[in-house]
Amino acid sequence: MKTKKWVGVVMLLAVVAAACGDSANDSSSGSGQTGGATDGGSTIKVGILHSLSGTMAISEVSVRDAELLAIEEINAKGGVLGKKIEAKVEDGASDWPTFAEKAQKLISVDKVATTFGGWTSASRKAMLPVFEKNKALLWYPVQYEGLETSPYIFYSGATTNQQIIPGMDYLKAQGKTKIFLVGSDYVFPRTANKEIKAYAAANGITIVGEEYTPLGHTEYSTVVNKLKDAKPDAVFNTLNGDSNVAFFKQFKSGGLTAATMPVMSVSVAEEETRGIGAENIAGHLTAWNYYQTTDTPANKTFVAAYKAKFGQNRVTDDPIEAGYVQVYLWAAAVTKAGTTEVEAVKKAADGITFDAPEGKVTIDGATQHIYKTARIGVVQPDGLIKEVSASPTPIKPDPYLKSYPWAAGLS
């Protein structure tokens, strides 16, 4: 008995000691102004919050790298407002409550001026209340399902009308009238497919099948059989992560080819094609806003800098580029506002433009999304993606699809 009490007391003391130690650094008022507090120091702290462990590390580690690269470049040019940017990196561990916890930590303990982070919709949904509660800023770099405009989030990835709809437009222009939907069982694929079905109904396209598999699923022979049975003209693929590898390998070994049944993917970028194996996915289509091969002067510099810093065998892709760009956009907004104070930065952000690797991007202040050019690409035998079609100008973000009559009943 005595032993247990002894242990309990020691642990309690440890916790108390730890708590007191932390209090020295923490502010006791969590709802206090963030951002402004850093103006007094010699550096500006920013948070970087991605999954560095767990299943999502596959994708998110590279985005963190790109964000760190952008910070390093800005610092080399003298920083922002005459101060260097200091990155505080935290691990979201592929676990949504952890994202919320670490976001709160960055805001109330590290007092960061802004945070760059997240990948999955679930992680963003988990962080959203934290940023709204603390009136702090989050920059989210990944294409997502739309239907959201939080006043404290800047969305630097594509919303659906900059990726999904151009993807469908392309298939329609190619004369594809029978489409099969394959997706992972979570919010992005389900919402995207809802929009695709509404689009199809208005554009004379038939949806001949719709399949969802659990996240991380690796057994696609049944789906392949269903594809063979339904004989669609094209497949619209919203699978996530590892499942893509299994899907494309089994698609190919099941005897299906890109020539007869092209797959349009919206979550497969250059980083993923390497894991899938270029030989398994070559010839299939993707819809993004940026490819490593995108031909702009800014991209040549970006790709060279990224490879020089992280290794020649690394590739860049859309979310990586969005992560890189959003740091520059934030820095530009801060420079224009003359402060890191959140409301001022938000106000200053409207209309800011930047010559990004993907071409010119502009912040739309009303939705806090970015004007982006939609680009349809074909995967090449070397795993890189070649652009075959692009929107003539950057597309205005429309997260609620208000400008599309067929989408009236969706949100």
Which residues 6+ apart lie within 8 Å of 43 measured at CB?
83, 84, 85, 86
> 78 or 216: whose CB is closer to other proteins?
216
How is residue 377 written in tokens? 């690409």
Tokens of 236: 């619209």
DSSP type of residue 146: -
Which C-beta is closer to other proteins: that of 81 or that of 208? 208
Q: Which of 55, 293, 339, 353 binds other proteins (CB under 8 A)?
A: 55
Residue 403 interacts with other proteins (CB under 8 A): yes or no: no
The interface region with other proteins, picked from 56-64, 158-166, 167-175, 337-345 by CB under 8 A, is: 56-64
Contact call for residue 378 and other proteins (CB under 8 A): no
Residues near other proteins (CB under 8 A), total: 100
Q: In angstroms, what is the minimal distance from the CB of 38 to other proteins?
A: 17
Q: Is 155 in the site for other proteins (CB under 8 A)?
A: no
252 binds other proteins (CB under 8 A): yes
Q: Is 260 in the site for other proteins (CB under 8 A)?
A: no
Site for other proteins in 271-330 (CB under 8 A): 271-272, 274-279
Q: How far apart are CA 329 and CA 50, in angstroms?
A: 19
Q: Could you say whether residue 52 binds other proteins (CB under 8 A)?
A: yes
Kindly state the DSSP code that residue 370 receives in the 8-state scheme.
E
- Residue nearer to other proteins on the CB measure, 217 or 309: 217
DSSP 335-348: HHHTS--HHHHHHH
What element of type H or E holds 91?
strand 84-91
- Minimum distance, C-beta of residue 27 to other proteins, in the bound complex (Å): 7
β strands within 162-256, DSSP E: 178-184, 206-213, 234-238
Chosen residue from 67, 86, 95, 358 binding other proteins by CB under 8 A = 95
* Footprint of other proteins on 65-94 (CB under 8 A): 89-91, 93-94
Cα–Cα distance for residue pair 179/182, rounded to 1 Å: 10
Pairing of strands 234-238, 178-184: parallel
